[in-house]
Amino acid sequence: MSTSENSTQGEVSDYLRSNWKELTQGLPEVSNAFFLELTILYNSAGRHYHTLNHIEALLKLAEEHQHLLKSPRTIFWVIWYHDAIYDAAKSDNEEKSADLARDHLTKLGLDNDLIEECFQLIIATKTHTLTENLSTFDAEFLLDIDLSILAVKQESYLEYTKQIRKEYKIYPDFLYKKGRKKVLKHFLEMDKIYKTELFQNLWEENARTNLKFELSEL
């Protein structure tokens, strides 16, 4: 499995430009301003993991498996906006990101049902749980790929843990470790980390190995 998270932070790759251009083809010109706003947000100070690299990695996973999705376009929109607002010290990042998505997509003239689905899916990335009306393969797929980093090779996983620690640098080690242990144990206590059979087969074992290793090191 490849993380695809290999571009330099601060740069906007050709892939991202191409993906956005294709996604917004035929839409109002304000989409260019929205693209700039998103790239500025994802490159903002304090981000080390939740950057454009993360967005590119998820977009590539969605593109790779889009033949399985009912609405790949919806998933692409959600990926672009799901971490647009991110402050490690705040607890309303997903809500603010969903609000931004709703505002932008409304101004782009997209279908109301698509906008509402995007809004709800972004909110779902907060707890990685799905309400009954959202329990579709597309929704499960989205939440699974958002956790794809957990299953990468150990070297890449260790780099991810360093990036997360930098994002939470405002917290001293004893507080960070306490919170991080809680997160890791939560995942390990789940019957399945991944919701789709596809990613259970591909990633479940590796993810649990990585989580157990990190927990043992804290």
| Residue owning tokens 């997360």 | 164
From the list 184, 170, 179, the residue with the least C-alpha distance to 214 is 184
pLDDT, tens digit (0-9, with 9 covering 90-100), for 183-204:
999 999 999 999 999 999 999 9
At 131, the pLDDT band (50, 70, 90 cuts) reads: confident
At 3, the pLDDT band (50, 70, 90 cuts) reads: very low
Higher pLDDT, residue 94 or 134: 94
Phi, psi (5° rounding) for residue 2? -105, 140
Residue 5 in this model has a pLDDT that exceeds 80: no
Residue 132 in this model has a pLDDT that exceeds 90: no
Residue 10 in this model has a pLDDT that exceeds 80: no
Residue 9 in this model has a pLDDT that exceeds 50: no
pLDDT, tens digit (0-9, with 9 covering 90-100), for 76-85:
999 999 999 9
The full set of domain ranges for the chain reads 1-146, 150-218
Residue 169 to residue 147: CA distance in whole angstroms: 22
- Its pTM surpasses 0.95: no
pLDDT of residue 1: 52
69 with 137: CB under 8 angstroms? yes
From the list 26, 142, 25, 140, the residue with the least C-alpha distance to 76 is 142
